[in-house]
Amino acid sequence: MKLNKTYSPCVKICKYDSSFMAGMVCIGCFREQYEITNWINMTEKDKQKALIDINTRKEKYLQI
């Protein structure tokens, strides 16, 4: 998937669950704090990797 320059996985629902990944992942977009704060400066390759991690976290969260 080719990402355009303005794409972000943010869903404008910033919420954390202390029982999931020590509360360090937003359960709105499933990004870690580092990914949220650095998203705009990440390379497309880094964003692609992050999107894979995001999907993995989301699947894991939905199983609890």
Query: What pLDDT shows up at residue 19?
Result: 95
The answer to whether position 56 is within a domain reads yes
pLDDT of res. 1: 66
Instruction: Report CA-CA distances (Å) from 38 to 3, 45, 56, 60, 62.
Output: 16, 14, 20, 23, 25
Q: What is the DSSP string of 19-38?
A: TSGGGTBBTTT--BHHHHHH
15 domain-assigned: no
Question: Does residue 45 form part of some domain?
Answer: yes
The per-residue pLDDT for 6 is 84
In the chain, how many domains are there? 1
- 3-class state of residue 14 by DSSP: coil
Range of the domain at 37: 21-62
- Whether 40 is covered by a domain: the verdict is yes
Query: pLDDT digits over 2-36, tens only?
Result: 788 789 999 999 999 999 999 999 999 999 999 99
Confidence of residue 42 (pLDDT cuts 50, 70, 90): very high
Residue 32 burial by Cβ neighbours in a 10 Å radius (0-12, 13-18, 19+): middle
Whether 55 is in a domain gets the answer yes
SS3 63: coil
pTM: 0.89
For residue 25, what pLDDT is reported? 97
